[in-house]
């Protein structure tokens, strides 16, 4: 039997990259899936690729009214929720002296505020024993030049996995972090780095990771399936790192 048969799932930022690959695998494992995104063109593409079993909702995780609308849609479509993969995020790099308030706020609003309020707004819909997965990133315990704001947001997400796990445990809801390494997707195009700087950063990652290569979205998605399934039923407040060894060596 498929591992997610008859389970309901929401994936934020599910139209591209890791979120999209995870939606595919959730469907293959038998889940009913709802994904969110902001871009209409990407939503249409996802609808075509994922098929009729996946529900698509346009939502911006920075907007509490959008999250209220998302919660209402989940209630109407599913009645309740077994899996919540809080995946939407951005990462921008810049030297300390050039960072302004907007640069800082954009990342914290999506990566931290968006994560927190997505969980808060959907918490009442989570069934007892549900699984919440927060996309934290393997940089949550690292440091690198020009990554000060982005890395800090991911450290905050890792912290939220601990505190939300403690708070939701009374309902047997598990909250874990999933921390990918450098996975080439359109996410890297949003980093704000010149192509040559991005190439240099990628070379550093390859040299630092024991496996000596980048990951792929299709390699991260099985980790999300594991955390979503009953196979991880005694696992909470943990960080599942899938990064070719980058963070631990």
| pLDDT tens-digit series, residues 43-68 | 999 999 998 889 999 999 999 999 99
Mean per-residue pLDDT, 215-224: 96
Residue 105 has pLDDT above 80, yes or no: yes
Residue labelled with tokens 């024993």: 129
Mean pLDDT of the chain: 92
What is the tens place of the pLDDT at every residue in 168-200? 999 999 999 999 988 877 654 455 555 665 666
User: What's the CATH superfamily of 8-241?
Assistant: NAD(P)-binding Rossmann-like Domain (3.40.50.720)
Q: What is the pLDDT of residue 188?
A: 46
20, 26, 150, 201: the catalytic one is 150
In contact, 206 and 244? CB cutoff 8 Å = no
Q: Is the dihedral of CA 103, 46, 156, 243 positive or negative?
A: negative
What is the tens place of the pLDDT at every residue in 70-83? 999 999 999 999 99
Per the annotation, the verdict on 204 as an active-site residue is: no
What is the tens place of the pLDDT at every residue in 119-177? 999 999 999 999 999 999 988 887 778 889 999 999 999 999 999 999 999 999 999 99
Cα–Cα distance between 12 and 116 in angstroms, integer?
12
The pair of structure tokens assigned to 117 is: 């309020």
Residue 6 CB neighbours (<10 A): 10
């Amino acid at each position: 039997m498929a591992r997610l048969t008859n389970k309901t799932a929401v994936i934020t930022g599910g139209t591209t990259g890791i979120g999209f690959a995870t939606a595919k695998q959730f469907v293959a494992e038998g889940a009913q899936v709802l994904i969110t995104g902001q871009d209409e063109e990407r939503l249409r593409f996802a609808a075509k690729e994922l098929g009729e079993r996946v529900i698509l909702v346009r939502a911006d995780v920075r907007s509490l009214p959008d999250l209220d609308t998302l919660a209402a849609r989940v209630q109407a479509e599913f009645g309740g929720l077994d899996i919540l993969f809080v995946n939407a995020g951005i990462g921008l790099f810049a030297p300390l002296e050039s960072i302004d308030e907007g640069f800082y706020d954009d990342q914290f609003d999506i990566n931290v505020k968006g994560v927190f309020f997505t969980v808060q707004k959907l918490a009442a819909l989570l069934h007892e024993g549900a699984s919440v997965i927060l996309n934290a990133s393997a940089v949550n315990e690292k440091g690198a030049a020009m990554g000060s704001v982005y890395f800090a947001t991911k450290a905050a997400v890792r912290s939220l996995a601990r505190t939300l796990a403690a708070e939701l445990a009374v309902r047997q809801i598990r909250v874990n972090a999933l921390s990918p390494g450098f996975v080439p997707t359109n996410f890297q195009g949003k980093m704000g780095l010149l192509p040559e700087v991005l190439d240099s950063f990628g070379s550093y990652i390859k040299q630092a990771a024991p496996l000596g290569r980048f990951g792929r979205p299709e390699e991260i998605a099985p980790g999300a399936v594991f955390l979503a399934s009953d196979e991880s039923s005694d696992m909470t407040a943990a960080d599942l790192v899938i990064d070719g060894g980058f963070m631990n060596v």
